[in-house]
Amino acid sequence: MVLVCETPDDTVADVADGSTILVGGFGMAGMPVDLIDALIRQGAGDLTVVSNNAGNGDTGLAALLAKGRVRKMICSFPRQSDSWVFDGLYRSGRIELEVVPQGNLAERIRAAGAGIGAFFTPTGAGTPLADGKETRDIDGRTYVLEYPIKGDVALVGAYRADRAGNLVYRKTARNFGPVMATAATTVVAQVTEIVEAGLIDPENVVTPGIYVDRVVVP
């Protein structure tokens, strides 16, 4: 049953030190900035953060990194023109980095949400990102064994929720949201509005409410 929270702070009050946090968004599109700000105020540290990028500018994920709360980043593309916060931490050895090809990142999260124990993917075969990983030749092609990435908490930015916890997204801000929403123990969605159950056409629901634990309009 989804809990409609009053404030972003209510949604993350119980996040523990050492948690793995899945953070939606591709750049700033779909980035749940208000939930991250609440997590900064809440104070949990020693976090592992899973997100496509490693923060842009000085807000959102970059602000969490700047506070020194993140021990490890798992992402596909940390280095960007405005990723100076991460760049500084990485170059001074104050943060761990696991680089994962973008499709493998999405699929590893999807696998966690779908109860898949591991999967073989052709992406990355023969490259440094497959070093030390188990491989198998199937039908003449080499595949790499990849394991799921499960979160303790997922923070996603969606467009609209209903009181049953169903979510819809907007344009390319959808990106990692629907996948991450399946793959964490506690799933929090930041939305622009929460409507009565029935006001989102069931044919159009992208994330069914079964996956969603808490929603908030910041």
What minimum distance in Å lies between the beta carbon of 198 and other proteins?
A: 23
What minimum distance in Å lies between the beta carbon of 129 and other proteins?
A: 7
15 vs 86, which CB is nearer to other proteins?
86
Which is it for the CA torsion 55, 59, 60, 63, positive or negative?
positive
**Strand 47-50 versus strand 70-75 pairing type:** parallel
125 vs 205, which CB is nearer to other proteins?
125
12 vs 130, which CB is nearer to other proteins?
130
DSSP assigned state of 179: H
Contacts with other proteins, residue ranges (CB under 8 A): 26-30, 52, 76-80, 86-87, 90-91, 97, 99-107, 109-110, 121-129, 142, 169-179, 206
What minimum distance in Å lies between the beta carbon of 14 and other proteins?
A: 27
8 vs 30, which CB is nearer to other proteins?
30
d(CA 77, CA 99): 7
What minimum distance in Å lies between the beta carbon of 178 and other proteins?
A: 4
12 vs 104, which CB is nearer to other proteins?
104
What minimum distance in Å lies between the beta carbon of 21 and other proteins?
A: 17
**Which of 70, 96, 60 has the alpha carbon at shortest distance from 15?**
70
d(CA 174, CA 189): 12
Identity of the residue numbered 95: I
3-class state of residue 103 by DSSP: helix
Which CA distances in Å does 63 have to 36, 68, 142, 191? 8, 9, 40, 21
What minimum distance in Å lies between the beta carbon of 174 and other proteins?
A: 5
d(CA 23, CA 177): 8
127 vs 185, which CB is nearer to other proteins?
127
